[in-house]
Structure 1
Amino acid sequence: MRRTVLGIVPPILVEAPKRAIKFSANDGYKRLYKDKFELQESRLLNVLTGVSAGMTEALIVASPDLVKIRLQDKRNAGKYLNTTDCVQKIFREEGIMGFTKGLEATLWRHALWNGGYFGSIGVIRSTLPKPTDKQSELINNFVAGTIGGTIGTILNTPFDVVKTRVQNQVAAPFKYNWAVPALGTIMREEGGRALYKGFVPKVLRLGPGGGILLVVYEVVTGYMRKYLM
């Protein structure tokens, strides 16, 4: 229990910026690709902007994720007093580049989740009954976001497993380096099921979380368009 609480500060600090970047970057890339490359609204464009937004998001969250994982790893029990102490020791022992460990796997993780999420919610919305009022529109957004979040989680969980293993490594030689070869190593040694360790609690969090995200985004942007623009 103490290890879980100990590692809660980094994700809390980065949570709000991460969510803001997810949607703002997606909207920004969509405008960019439409203006510069004359791409039309399509499922492919939604996947492309989602992947691009996910990679942007990954640059922000990779280092806080590293600190969180080090704090929560039971093998580090007693090594770190708190978040500040963990950051200082990583810098002292591994240098500034130590905070980039697992960045490539984090890029894969967020690119796949966002690509699956933004690429699917439009399709899911189109299959749902046409909303007749604000409440039914919110319900549709929640359903679409939840299914989209579930799809994203199915796609990215193997790279989440790899990212955790890469970031948990401290002393060389490192068993896991690049994400795709690490996937092969895990499958060869432990089987394909090992790539989905922790999937159930993760999808229970990120599935409905994707629905809540979409609802909040639509409500906030609707309010801003109505009263601030």
Structure 2
Amino acid sequence: MVGYKKHKNLTQLDFAIAGGLSGFITRSLCQPLDVLKIRFQLQVEPISNKSHSKYYSVIQAVNVIFHEEGIKAFWKGHVPAQWLSVTYGTVQFWSFEVLSKKAQHYYNSSNAPVVNFCCGSIAGCTATLVSFPFDVIRTRLVAQSEQRKLYKGVWHSFQDMVTKEGFPVLFRGLLVTIGQVGPHSGIQFMCYKVFDDICKRVIGSDSTSFSSSLVAGSLAGLCAKTCIYPFDLAKKRLQIQGFENARTVFGKHFRCSGLTDCLVKIYQNEGVLGFFKGLCPSLIKASLTTALHFSTYEMVCRFLVSLK
């Protein structure tokens, strides 16, 4: 049901509600994968059991985090992450539906993939701009060690960061994120529509089912994440600059002065594979979260239609 033509009975408020609920449900179930991804992304040492790396595989990382920090560590930063997901989901799906409604007056079906890409890109950038401070706070809370905590919670981290580093810190890494989210969100929506159409043809149905939405969302998430992953890693490295004191137990410090410097130093110190640290848990997370994000959005929209 993603796309204006299938939502003629729904209002803009319905789109926002469905997007927010899909973000909330998805984040609740997938937060541990996000914690694993961020821990791998912020590790400077090679991801190998032959080096002195703290984390070198998904299973090993799970065991280390569990034994050192407890089960709650897998939901570290969950509150700002929920604010991030709900805000992002609300704005993203609402923007996409509004934009696709406007666009349907100017394009034919042969141009649909391009239009879906453009509408998805703009929707993703808009949602990122609105929700970005929650992403920075979430990253800081996930990155800190339980043995050396600087922040007690969301509000304390917000106050401390703004007081010590200034308000712009809440948007540190925004440009690289916009550069990443634009194509990522565009590819997501474009691929989702393509795979959803394929699934419907395979099962011989004109409507999107929960299972077809899961499959289409999962494949769309894999395609989108693989394309933009190096920029996602660079964003996380930029967000923890000035935060070294809370990461003394995680290995080497990584210092950079901007996106270009960040990418150059990653290549010089960690090689090409350094750009893909954490890719495995990230792809698992991307396939699950995108599948859940789209399928729950579809089901909530269907439920709202049934109430009309």
Provide the TM-score with structure 1 as the length reference: 0.74
- Alpha-carbon shift at residue 194 of structure 1 (Å): 0.5
What is the distance in 1 between the residues matched to 2:142 and 2:176? 21
Paired position in structure 2 for 1:32: none
Alignment of 1:179-194 (within 5 A): 179-194=154-169
Q: Could you tell me which runs of 5 or more consecutive residues in structure 2 were left unpaired when the two chains were aligned.
A: 4-8, 46-51, 206-308
Contact 1:54 1:110 (8 Å CA) reproduced: yes
2:113 alignment partner, one of 122, 138, 144:
138
Identity of aligned residues (%): 25
- Alpha-carbon shift at residue 162 of structure 1 (Å): 0.6
Paired position in structure 2 for 1:7: none
1:49 aligns with 2:49: no
- Alpha-carbon shift at residue 184 of structure 1 (Å): 3.0
CA RMSD of aligned residues (A): 2.6
Q: Could you tell me which runs of 5 or more consecutive residues in structure 1 were left unpaired when the two chains were aligned.
A: 1-22, 28-39
Which has the higher relative contact order, 1 or 2, with Cα contacts under 8 A spaced 6 or more apart? Answer: 2
What is the distance in 2 between the residues matched to 1:130 and 1:140? 11
| Amino acid paired to 2:57 | N
| Amino acid paired to 1:52 | L
What is the distance in 1 between the residues matched to 2:202 and 2:62? 42
What is the distance in 2 between the residues matched to 1:127 and 1:145? 13
What is the distance in 1 between the residues matched to 2:202 and 2:60? 44
Contact 2:69 2:146 (8 Å CA) reproduced: no
For residues 41-77 of structure 1, what are the alpha-carbon distances to aligned partners after superposition, in whole Å with 9 as ceiling and x for unaligned? 1111111111111111112331122122223334887
For residues 190-224 of structure 1, what are the alpha-carbon distances to aligned partners after superposition, in whole Å with 9 as ceiling and x for unaligned? 12211111112211111121111111122222233
| Amino acid paired to 1:68 | K
Paired position in structure 1 for 2:180: 205
Alignment of 1:91-106 (within 5 A): 91-106=66-81
Paired position in structure 1 for 2:260: none
- Is the alpha carbon distance of 1:193 and 1:145 closer, same or farther for their aligned partners in structure 2, counting shifts above 3 Å? same
Paired position in structure 1 for 2:306: none
Count of residues in Structure 1 that have an aligned counterpart in Structure 2? 194
- Alpha-carbon shift at residue 133 of structure 1 (Å): 2.9
| Bigger helix share | 1
What is the distance in 1 between the residues matched to 2:101 and 2:35? 38
Paired position in structure 2 for 1:15: none
Provide the TM-score with structure 2 as the length reference: 0.57
Paired position in structure 1 for 2:200: 225
Paired position in structure 2 for 1:73: 42
